[in-house]
Amino acid sequence: MLLRMGQSRRAAAVASGISPETVSALVRRGQGRDPRRRPRPEDVAFANAVELAEAEAEVMITANLVRLSRTSVRAALEWLRARHPERWSPSRETTREDDQGDEPTVPSASVAQPARIIRPGSRELQEFTSSYLAERRVRLAADAVPDHE
């Protein structure tokens, strides 16, 4: 149950009164990765249950993050960065937060428009993201220029 809630194997083991090493050994054996012991049916069942519980937690957390991404730029960016790090890893130009420290600034054009769901992988999402990042770079560049008064 703790694994389904998103707890780590270590935390779930300790909270259940089992040593984390025992859990690791049982999972390893159940997966057939223990060269000294053959997996027993109960070891295989245990390893499968652990993997299933961890997968269920990941699905639940991912679904919550996707749901949040509809209204939160930060949640959308975090999901994209986790899902596609090769395309969405933060660069030095885009990691600076607003002075308030909350969420990154949303381009002003998108604020005036009614909220709508943008589908993952759509051209609309790519255009929005490009526009957003371009505007963000301009703002960061402007902030970096000192005032000469």
3-state secondary structure 51-67: HHHHHHHHHHHHHHHHH
Amino acid in position 76: A
| 93 in the same domain as 61 | no
Distance CA 132, CA 138 (A): 10
Q: Number of folded domains in the chain? A: 2
On whether both 110 and 138 belong to a single domain, the answer is: yes
d(CA 91, CA 68): 23
State residue 133's pLDDT score.
66
pTM of the model: 0.55
pLDDT tens string, the chain, 149 residues long: the values are 899 899 999 999 999 999 999 999 999 999 999 999 999 999 999 999 999 999 999 888 888 888 888 888 888 888 888 888 888 887 644 444 444 455 544 444 344 344 456 566 667 766 766 666 666 666 666 665 555 54
> Domain for residue 2, yes or no?
no
Task: Decide if 75 is inside a domain.
Answer: no
Residues 58 and 97 in one domain: no
pLDDT at 105: 45
Shared domain check, 61 and 90: no
Q: Are residues 89 and 60 in the same domain?
A: no
Residues 102 and 51 in one domain: no
Assigned domain for 124 exists: yes
* Cβ pair 105, 136 in contact under 8 A: yes
Residue 135 lies in a domain: yes
Expressed as residue numbers, the domain containing 46 is 9-65
Neighbouring C-beta atoms of residue 21, cutoff 10 Å: 10
Res 88: pLDDT:
87
For residue 138, being part of any structural domain is answered with yes
Nearest to 25 by CA among 12, 8, 41, 37: 37
Does a structural domain hold residue 101?
yes
Residue 78 included in any domain: no
Q: 92 and 138 share a domain?
A: yes
Can you give the pLDDT at residue 92?
Answer: 40
